[in-house]
Structure 1
Amino acid sequence: MSRKPGVIETDCYQARRALSDYLEGDLTPQLRLLMWEHFQTCDHCRPVYDGLRNIVSLLGDEEVIELPEGFSQRLYQRFLSSASASTT
């Protein structure tokens, strides 16, 4: 609830629900501005916004990143080692 008459405020729950639409440009200009202000000022939502924006940017990049030989196997082995260490 806004403490200022005529001003609509948002909360983290609403901001995170609208994040995908925000990144895709599917919000009204008024709601887009409201979300932008929230993401700029909220210490909880800003990292979520930054992270998702980076993921979308990387996935949208048509350039394929070549991984070093054996990278997938080393990563998988590291994952297995970490998983078994956390269960013991």
Structure 2
Amino acid sequence: MVLECKHVWEHISGYLDGTLDAAVLEDVQKHLEHCEICSAILDSTRNILILTADERVFELPLGFSERLHARLAAEMRGFTYTPRGSVEEGDG
């Protein structure tokens, strides 16, 4: 069976954990052989798992938290939240 990307994404965790049944595993592997996007998502997910499993602690540079909070606040000022499925004014 040919899987669409959205179905592969649903199986990424099981793929990495080795918990997929043989038929699904084969379908996911076939898809990953030709899909660069899903392969990148797989690699990114694997990297996140590796990084979050790393127990080392790193000291942040002085002032890092303050700069991060200031940048996030600046970006949020320009962000407008539109609930999913709502109709924008003038769209209907």
Same fold (TM over 0.5): yes
Amino acid at match of 2:17: E
Query: Identity over the aligned pairs, expressed in percent?
Result: 34
Using the size of structure 2 for normalisation, the TM-score is 0.68
Q: Which residue of 2 aligns with 1:80?
A: 73
Which of 18, 23, 37 matches 1:25? 18
Using the size of structure 1 for normalisation, the TM-score is 0.71
Deviations 1:32-66 (CA, angstroms, capped at 9, x unpaired): 24323322321332222222111111111222232
1:48 equivalent in alignment to 2:55: no
- 4+ long deviations beyond 6 Å: none
- Number of positions where the alignment pairs a residue of Structure 1 with one of Structure 2: 80
Unaligned 5+ segments in structure 2 are 81-92
